[in-house]
Amino acid sequence: MSARPKNSRPEPGEVIAVLKRIFSENGREYIGYYAFTIFCLLTSAATAGLAAWIMKPLVDDIFVAQRYDRAIWICGGIIAIFLIRGMVTYGYSVTLAKIGNNVVARYQKRVFQHLMLLGLDFFSDTRSGRLAARINENVAGIRDLMGMTLRSVAGDLVALIGLIGVMIWQQPYLAASIIVIGPPLVWAVNYIMRRVRSVTRESVTVNSHLIGAMQEAVQGIAVVKAFTMEEQLSARIARLVDHAEGRYNKIARVSERLGPITESLAGFAVAGVIGYASYKAATTSHPPGDVMAFITALLLAYDPARRLARTQVNVERALVNARMIYEILDTEPQQGDVPGAGELAVRQGEVRFDEVSFAYVPGQPVLDKVSFVVRPGKTTAIVGASGSGKSTLVALLQRFYDVDGGTITIDGQDITKFTKHSLRQSIAYVSQQPYLFEGTIRDNIRYGRPEASDRETELAARLAAADEFIRQQPEGYDTQVGENGATLSGGQRQRVSIARAMLRDAPLLLLDEATSALDNESEARVQQALNEAMRGRTTIVIAHRLSTVVNADNIIVLEQGRVVEQGTHAQLMADADGVYARFYRFQGDNGPGLVDDSAADEISGGVANA
């Protein structure tokens, strides 16, 4: 999808095009509600015309002809008019609110479902906080477009036409003279619409930046306090708030210009009519009922005319929001399933990387013709300095990205020929940074296999050495984990993440620094559980801590995106000048712990230079 420049203006027919798309996507769902709403709006419009028309018999029959016997009928008619108007106003207001709330819910679900189809490249380029703020703000634009259009066309426009009809019926020449205020009003509306377009999108973008920055600051509050960043972030947020305030003030100044223009034009019109009525009453004996009906119709017509004028300005603002939502919905996934993709069936679990190359940025390869085989039912470890491409291999195997060259096969089957869903269903994954979702501990473990029973969930937790600390929580497995597991320690979150992978019971197991957040005691317990989980299962382990991979069946050593060594721990240690041996000796000298990336890079560079 080609991106539109941020400050571009919609084409002349774009409002109609967007409205047509909105109603085509939602119209059938609400046809009954729309019919009822239109009926209520038309009835309300009719009561406005009747309220103006009834002024003629009120003045002529009662006050001029003194037919007081008709007063009860006229009063009854006025009560009926306003009673009906109140009922239908309630009817269409509640119905439009119900439609609008459902539209917001539908589009929120639709946008989220679409986001789940997009690749990691989209989220790498989009800040999560800004995206969430943008979605919440922009979805309302579609609701507003639907509500304003229906209310304006079936309500205000019909009411205005009816009232103009009453004015023409009562005083045709005077009605013709009133029409002269139309051209200045149309010019004013068009001018303001152009101005509103140019500032609305910027205000939405600024507000999304503001909300996103606030969300990120709250999520990273521990880092904020640790680095005493409170004043810096407060100043940054204050600048964003001031910028957003300025944008909204500008929108208010521009859009509210319509008020004095319409009020002034209406004042001239009403004054002119009253002046004409006074002149006519002074020079003729014609009953004033028709003039009073005309004045009433004119005064009643002011509100729908003003709302129609303002609706066009508000439509411009809602259109910007609707366009931004459709920009997300129209974003095509960059790596979809191929036509006719089948369901992957893992039989033995052999994984083969054959001449695999990949670059996140063109011209800057992360992997360069990487080839190795992960034997079925065996454990293969991938080690190397930071930035050597270890985690990229795992991402490519799960098809978070597609390779630029070469192939990845499972049991001889090219993974690009099968659906991503079936591929990922065959993989249990434990990431380097454990992520827990809103809900209970049990819910988070059960994400590995939603249909699993409580007994299976708790068994997976015991295998991950998590059962003991879970039962010590206030509500055991039903304890809420807080935002991203804030109520649990890093090691506890990692063990819940491992339990989730164990519950999945998939033939392929990917461990990306799975024990990095654990203390020595917990690591030993989890490693024992992982050894049990890896038995008979094809496992790929990524680790900086080489003590966790010494028992692997095969160790792949990466350096600058290439395989430089592979073999068992004993085979690799036999080469005293090899990269792996240097890594291992470095960790042995510095005690158990994570490899220091800068030191690892220095060691790798020294080997490369040697």
Question: Which H or E run includes 389?
Answer: none
| 163 located within any domain | yes
pLDDT digits (tens, 9 = 90+) for 414-431: 999 998 889 988 988 888
Give me the mean pLDDT over the 466-483 stretch: 88
Region at 602 (left for phi over 0; alpha for psi -120 to 50; beta for the rest): alpha
d(C-alpha 298, C-alpha 462), whole Å: 79
Question: Does residue 312 share a domain with residue 381?
Answer: no
pTM above threshold 0.75: no
Which of 280, 297, 329 is the endpoint of a domain? 329
Beta bridge partners of 558: 384, 563
Structural domain includes residue 186:
yes
- Do residues 30 and 62 share a domain? yes
Which of 275, 296, 329 is where one domain is finished?
A: 329
- The answer to whether residues 136 and 196 belong to one domain is yes
**Together in a domain, 291 and 237:** yes
Same domain, 179 and 30: yes
| Residue 271, domain member (yes or no) | yes
The Cα–Cα gap between 420 and 398 comes to 8
Q: How confident is the model at residue 14 (pLDDT cuts 50, 70, 90)?
A: low
Q: Do 68 and 145 sit in the same domain of this protein? A: yes
Are both 295 and 380 inside the same structural domain? no
210 located within any domain: yes
CA 171 to chain centre: 55
Q: Compute the chain's Rg from CA coordinates.
A: 35
Domain-located, residue 302: yes
User: Which CATH number covers residue 402?
Assistant: 3.40.50.300
Spatial separation of the C-alpha atoms in residues 336 and 332, rounded to whole Å = 9
User: Per residue in 98-146, pLDDT tens?
Assistant: 888 888 888 888 888 888 888 777 777 776 666 776 677 677 777 777 7
The answer on 156 and 243 residing in a single domain is yes
CATH of the domain at 313: 1.20.1560.10
Give the total number of structural domains in the chain: 2
Q: Which residues contact 299 (CB under 8 A, 6 or more apart)?
A: 270
Same domain flag for 365 and 300: no
Q: Are residues 276 and 165 in the same domain?
A: yes
Q: Are 297 and 388 part of one and the same domain?
A: no
Tell me: the pLDDT tens digits for 21-61? 877 887 777 888 878 888 887 787 777 777 777 777 766 66
Better-predicted residue by pLDDT, 123 or 556:
556
Domain that holds residue 386: 343-426+544-610
- Asked if 347 and 322 sit in the same domain, the reply is no
Match 């690799």 to its residue by tokens. Answer: 572
Q: Does some domain include residue 176? A: yes
* Last residue in a domain, options 271, 295, 329: 329
**Type and span of the H or E element at 73:** helix 71-117
Tell me, yes or no, whether 515 lies in a domain. Answer: no
Asked if residue 357 belongs to a domain, the reply is yes
